[in-house]
Amino acid sequence: MQDRPLELDGDTHARLQRLVVRVRQDLALISHPSMEWLKPRTASDGSQALDVLIVGAEQSGLATAFGLKRWRVDNVRVIDKAPRGLEGPWRTYARMRTLRSPKDYTGPDLDIPSLTYQSWHVAKYGQQHWNDLHLIPRENWADYLLWMRDTTEIPVQNEVALNSIEPEGEMLKAQLLHTNGQAETVFARKIVLATGQDSTGVWWMPPEIAALPRHQRAHAADDIDFAELRDKDVAIVGAGASAFDNAAEALEANARSVTLLCRRETPQVIQPYRWLTFRGFLAHLGDLDDAWRWRFMRHMLGLREGFPQETLDRCTRHDNFKIVSGASLKEINQSSNGLEIETTKGNYTADFVISGTGMENDFSARPELGRFAGNIATWSDCYQPPDDERHERLGRFPYLNPDFAFVEEVPGQTPWISNTHLFSISSTMSFGPSGSSINAMTTVVPKLVSSLTKGLFRDDVEEHWESLRAYDVPQAKLDDPNE
């Protein structure tokens, strides 16, 4: 198994350059229909408005921008608050060595063979290395995304955060803040929020953990200094894939012991995302009625994500690792031995707690949603499931329009949110895996792109009608019948 990058050979640069040429040739061959169709719009301050502002330059934002480009929606800007290369989890809080997805899943390439991860990997490391590869090293995935972004010439601006959205006439007015402190206002006809796992809320910790001083606790998505955990007793609360990744990091950093407290009777090893990776589900779950959509997604998200064998092995190879199942957290108290963690399966001591407990929806916690957070319809506003299918946490997910736009809880209060489209894990309750999952991208990004272009086309319909009536380009030259 070769899950670590190899030394590059001298031909790598040339092979990658040839691949870039191939991608561009492939895209040129399928560029039909290539005619421009969107007219520039002037905003109230005289500037040219964007057709689409995409927020988030990680895989969901990049694939959306690429899809729009293929549809000749070129007046697009992509921003990300992170520096280039540090977008998303891959080089920040992701602590697994490899992706969890099988290596042959395609995604941001949107079905262009030369743009796939595999093509990039073969160009970079050779065919044999690809053949021998088991899973994709996560840094390689991050490098591939940068290559894909550069090769398709997606216009990204890093270190720019979206701080608020409000209406101005028929446009959306977005307040941006650059890392260097510069404020900027841009206008856009549509905004896509590809803002990641916590796009509609906050990373969540049980109150018992949140109440601890910072030097004794962290969320799995925090920047954790694992070297500090050397010779310490560490407790991990939660048993999802990220919880195990954090346990492994602590063990590899020579923690004295790592105890993983799992609320369920057995940790979740089934990965429901594998079951649903077929075109029918990915494409059409969103076409079903609320009852079916809720039933499927409640089941999937209620199970949470299973983890692969490698993740488990990385922990269990250490004798000082222990999983305690059926252990719900009751209380945490300070003691002379450190933290006394009381659970339904007994008491445990630890010096440090890592909470692998996911995110919680809280629209008002996100500055970019602030102006309309109170009027975003949730699933519990729109659908009442049968008693045996209730789920309070999942009911707090946004209930999205078929075009991924937010829906108003009270119609008429913020009608402009119909031009703000969400493409993140929080779209999952409405449509199944969305931008957030590699497995869904080739199917779902085209749906999003089609929805965005549908809105842009529909809003311009009168201009298209006038343009057709004014169209006077002859295809042939007739002889003058009077001669």
Ligand X SMILES: Cc1cc2nc3c(=O)[nH]c(=O)nc-3n(C[C@H](O)[C@H](O)[C@H](O)COP(=O)(O)OP(=O)(O)OC[C@H]3O[C@@H](n4cnc5c(N)ncnc54)[C@H](O)[C@@H]3O)c2cc1C
Q: Should residue 242 be labelled a site residue for ligand X when binding is judged by CB under 6 A? A: yes
Closest among 465, 141, 96, 158 to 314, alpha carbons compared: 96
CB of 54 to ligand X, least distance (A): 10
DSSP structure string for 94-159? ---SB-SS-TT---TTTT-GGGSHHHHHHHHH-HHHHHH--S-BHHHHHHHHHHHHHHTT--EEES
Q: Which of 43, 55, 205, 282 binds ligand X (CB under 6 A)?
A: 55
Q: Which of 76, 99, 123, 312 binds ligand X (CB under 6 A)?
A: 99
Query: Both tokens of residue 411?
Result: 């119609």
Nearer to ligand X, 100 or 371 (CB): 100
Candidate segments 78-86, 324-332, 382-390, 401-409, binder of ligand X by CB under 6 A = 78-86
- Cα(265)–Cα(271) distance, rounded to whole angstroms? 17
Candidate segments 34-42, 85-93, 248-256, 259-267, binder of ligand X by CB under 6 A = 85-93
Pattern 314-353, ligand X, x by CB under 6 A: ----------------------------------------
Closest among 106, 146, 110, 108 to 30, alpha carbons compared: 110
Half-sphere exposure of 317 toward its Cβ, with a 13 Å CA cutoff? 11
CB of 400 to ligand X, least distance (A): 15
Counts of helices then strands in the chain (DSSP H, E): 16, 18
β-partners of residue 237 are 261, 355
Task: Kindly identify the residues of this chain, within the stretch 140-169, that bind ligand X according to CB under 6 A.
Answer: 161-162
- Cα(435)–Cα(63) distance, rounded to whole angstroms? 8
Nearer to ligand X, 82 or 448 (CB): 82
Task: Kindly identify the residues of this chain, within the stretch 355-384, that bind ligand X according to CB under 6 A.
Answer: 368
CB of 42 to ligand X, least distance (A): 25
Q: Which of 51, 58, 143, 208 binds ligand X (CB under 6 A)?
A: 58
Task: Kindly identify the residues of this chain, within the stretch 182-201, that bind ligand X according to CB under 6 A.
Answer: 194-197
CB of 407 to ligand X, least distance (A): 21
| Distant-in-sequence, close-in-space partners of 297: CB < 8 Å, separation ≥ 6 | 285, 394, 428, 429, 432
Q: Which of 19, 41, 65, 87 binds ligand X (CB under 6 A)?
A: 87
DSSP structure string for 403-466? TSBB-BSSTTSSGGGGGEEE-SGGGHHHHSS-TT-HHHHHHHHHHHHHHHHHHHHHHTHHHHHH
Q: What are phi and psi of 6, to 5 degrees?
A: -90, 165
Q: What are phi and psi of 302, to 5 degrees?
A: -70, -35
Q: Should residue 67 be labelled a site residue for ligand X when binding is judged by CB under 6 A? A: no
- The size of the interface with ligand X (CB under 6 A), counted in residues, is 31
CB of 193 to ligand X, least distance (A): 8
Candidate segments 18-26, 95-103, 252-260, 329-337, binder of ligand X by CB under 6 A = 95-103
Contact set with ligand X (CB under 6 A): 55-56, 58-61, 79-82, 87-89, 94, 99-101, 161-162, 194-197, 242, 368, 424, 435-439
